[in-house]
Chains A and B, each alone.
Chain A
Amino acid sequence: MEQVLVTKGLERTYETDGIAVAALRGIDLVVAEGEFVSVMGPSGCGKSTLLHLLGGLDRPSAGEVHLGGRRVDELSETAWALLRRRQVGFVFQFFNLIANLTIADNIELPGLLAGLSPREARSRRRELLDDLGIGELAASVPSRVSGGQQQRVAIARALINRPALLLADEPTGNLDSQSSREVLGLLRRHHERGQTIVLVTHDARVASAADRVIHMRDGLISEETLLSGDRDPGALATQMLRLEV
């Protein structure tokens, strides 16, 4: 199985007012194709920093990042931008849709940038929106659409170029439980179709949807849990569903 993402000794230190703060202190991570990995940890453990480094939104202080077999941690901004178009899709906690573009334009933008013809971009966009069940919102603007719907649009935007890697930073952080469930279901569906996902969250429910849960503390990986999704319910679940009368 191909390795979509590999990091070696990834470090990131911030300098603020002369004081060095180490956000990441050496992360070794391997994500194979089709894996769904979630990263959990207390606030300040560095999980968002890790995600930003994986997507080229920030530069590591030390260490290597390989994406699809190619070393990317030293790429220029331009090269990263080009890479991101095709290889990496991003979903954020605060949706981050462009306010003065319609839903349709928001989704098509990365496609157009990657070189899709307007017609191709439009057809892919329609496909994604229909799949999300919000096809009728195409002409609306983000401000007139609910949070849950916005996040689904953001996911569609991230997926229009069928990227090798989908990175999600607290995707349900700003959603109510119903919308969270819908978004999670969406991510799971795409994972079933083969999408590689790395997701950062503090919500255990969301994290448990992954195959692998990585727990971080103080800039390091502290533990890893492998979860099985197709076995019969274990003793804990069964027991918890027992009524005591």
Chain B
Amino acid sequence: MKFPILAMLASSPAHGYELKRELEHHFGAALPPLNTGQIYTSLARLERDGLVDADRVAQDSRPNKRVYRLTAQGQAALDEWVTQPTPGSRLRDEFFMKLVLAGRAGIADPRVLIERQRGEYLQGLRDLDRLSGAANGDWAEALLIEGAALHLEADLKWLALCEERLNAEVTPWSRS
């Protein structure tokens, strides 16, 4: 949450509730449900690290709200985050481990595992497709769905590769 908050504060200072609303506005259902507490915790951490500053703004019948803004240090950190390439997402680690270990241990037929996973991915694609049809033209959401679908495509290709290697190689964990 650190850098997205810094990026939002870069456009204008805001308080916690405003930040939450903006996040929901941009990313909607893609984010897990947020509670304000998480935001404030993150903000506190950022303030402790000196990346943001808080100003107290007096309100009439409410406790004072704290309006946060970027510090120079925070700006520098943000700039670095923006310019540095972001590391990519990782493989479906869990399935990979399942495939290797379950086959080796003999608790499941790797081929069946692959088939089942493939079915899962295909249905996933189908679901994503349905979602994209219902998307209301929000480009951010559309890109997200497309990105997910492409990932699934890649996963399916990787599954096909695994299957091929499975057929070609005589390994301890292949059932003939």
Contacts and interface: CB of A to CB of B under 8 A. Distances in A.
Interface stretch (B75-83, B97-105, B114-122): B114-122
Interface in A193-245: 204-205, 207-209, 213, 215, 222-223, 225, 227-231, 233-234, 236-237, 240-243, 245
A42 interface: yes
Contact of A204 (B127, B148, B152): B152
B130 interface: yes
B148 A208 contact: no
Interface in B108-126: 115, 118-126
Contacts of A237: 124, 127-128, 131, 148
Interface of A is mostly: loop
Contact of A241 (B1, B130, B145, B153): B145
A245 B31 contact: yes
A65 to B, nearest CB: 27
B29 interface: yes
B142 to A, nearest CB: 11
Interface string A2-39: 00000000000000000000000000000000000000
Contact-size category for A: 20 to 34
B4 interface: yes
Interface string B128-148: 111100000000000011001
Contacts of B153: 204-205
Contact of B31 (A222, A229, A242): A242
A207 B153 CA distance: 11
B156 interface: yes
A15 to B, nearest CB: 26
Given A204-B121, A204-B156, A215-B118, A234 B164 contact: no
A8 B164 CA distance: 28
A243 B127 contact: no
Given A42-B160, A204-B153, A240 B124 contact: yes
B88 to A, nearest CB: 12
Contacts of B30: 241-243
Given A229-B130, A241-B30, A245-B1, A42 B122 contact: no
Contacts of A213: 119, 122
A42 B129 CA distance: 24
Nearest to B3: A245
Contact of B120 (A215, A236, A241): A236
Contacts of B160: 42
B118 A241 contact: no
A213 B123 CA distance: 10
Contacts of A215: 115, 118
A230 B128 CA distance: 12
A25 to B, nearest CB: 15
Contact of B126 (A42, A228, A240, A245): A228
B128 A233 contact: yes
B131 A233 contact: yes
Contacts of B127: 231, 233-234, 236-237
CB-CB nearest 9 A-B residue pairs? A237-B127, A208-B125, A233-B127, A236-B124, A225-B119, A240-B148, A204-B156, A223-B115, A208-B122
Interface of A: 42, 204-205, 207-209, 213, 215, 222-223, 225, 227-231, 233-234, 236-237, 240-243, 245
18 contacts: A204-B152, A205-B125, A205-B129, A205-B149, A207-B122, A208-B126, A213-B119, A228-B123, A230-B130, A234-B124, A236-B120, A237-B127, A237-B148, A240-B152, A241-B30, A241-B148, A245-B4, A245-B31
Interface of B: 1, 4, 27, 29-32, 115, 118-131, 144-145, 148-149, 151-153, 156-157, 160, 164
